[in-house]
Amino acid sequence: MTLRLDALGQRYGDHPVLHDITLTVPDGQLLCVVGPSGCGKSTLLRTVAGLQPAREGTITLDDAPVTGVPDHLAVVFQDYGRSLFPWLTVRDNVALPLRRRGLARAARRAEADRILERVGLDGTARRHPWQLSGGMQQRVAIARALVCRPSLLLMDEPFGSLDAQTREDLEDLLLEVHRTDATTIVFVTHDIDESVYVGDRVVVLSPGPASRVVLDLPVELPGKRDQIGTRRLPEFVALRSEVGRVVRGA
């Protein structure tokens, strides 16, 4: 699914947040959006998700304007503790989006179990989210996002509150999902290394107010990415320095 932002602007009252953002994310691309905190990254995602209307400009998905929450869209939020429903089991959380597809209960459960296995959570279906570690809870949230096979996946600093090891595991899970499903993904992060490691392309927003795009960089890294090897490549080091320089406003 191709996502197109055209002169997108967003404001809270008189306070401008985003200004003149024009971007095209081609079908199947994993775009990372980086920027200092408070630059409006989350606002950008919320606007694309249709959770708040754009104040200026337009958003189109495969040439259809976004007015409400689009179909075939999934969002993973940073705060898994709040985004999951604690009164539902892991399986029921994951199966929740399937209700609107009109599947029978047994089919919903089977589908949920299948996707749980895919994100490495087999055996947790009947537990409750708060009985799992933070990394596992975020896996549940990812499973809930993937269960409807979205064509556009939005992720708002999804690994920002996880420890380093867990974060690397989940970055690799995301890359694996992206390789197999070829979903268009917009991934917001403040972590420069992470953006270069997972992204096909990195876009840097300027510090607010009225953030705009200050760098748009394709990420071309040789070979399949892996946590140890890729991060040592000269291409990786060069890219992360460039992104880092722009983020720091040099």
Partner 1 sequence: MSGGRGTVGHPQPAARPAFAWRHAVLRLVVLLVALGAWQWGARARGSVYFPPPSRIALRAQELWFSGPARHAFLSAAGIGDVLPSLGRMAAGFGIAAVGGIAAGVLVGRSAWAYALCNPVLQFARAVPPPALVPVFVVVFAFGAPMQIASIAFSAVWPVLINTAEGVRATDPLRLDVAAVLRLNPFERLRFLLLPSALPHIFAGLRLSLSLSLILMVFSELLPGTANGIGFTLTDAQSRSDLLTVWAALLLLGVLGHLLNTALLAVERRMTGRRRPT
Binding site for partner 1 (CB under 8 A): 46, 49-51, 69, 71, 73-75, 77, 79, 81-83, 85-88, 96-97, 99-100, 128-134, 144, 161-163
- For residue 1, the minimal CB distance to partner 1 (Å) is 16
- For residue 176, the minimal CB distance to partner 1 (Å) is 23
- For residue 63, the minimal CB distance to partner 1 (Å) is 21
Name the residue nearer to partner 1 (CB basis): 150 or 199.
150
d(CA 19, CA 83): 29
Half-sphere exposure of 114 (CA within 13 A, CB side): 10
Classify residue 103 by burial, with Cβ atoms within 10 Å: 0-12, 13-18, 19+: middle
15 token code pair: 């306070």
Which residue(s) pair with 4 in the sheet? 24, 60
Q: How many helices (H) and strands (E) does the chain have?
A: 9, 10
- For residue 128, the minimal CB distance to partner 1 (Å) is 7
Neighbours of 57 (CB within 10 A): 17
183 token code pair: 């979903």
User: Which DSSP helix (H) or strand (E) runs through 17?
Assistant: strand 15-25
Q: Nearest-5° angle of CA 50, CA 32, CA 195?
A: 145
Amino acid found at 222: P
Name the residue nearer to partner 1 (CB basis): 187 or 236.
187
Name the residue nearer to partner 1 (CB basis): 133 or 227.
133
Neighbours of 198 (CB within 10 A): 24
Name the residue nearer to partner 1 (CB basis): 76 or 246.
76
- For residue 49, the minimal CB distance to partner 1 (Å) is 6
- For residue 52, the minimal CB distance to partner 1 (Å) is 10
> Under a CB-based contact definition with an 8 Å cutoff, are residues 189 and 202 in contact?
no
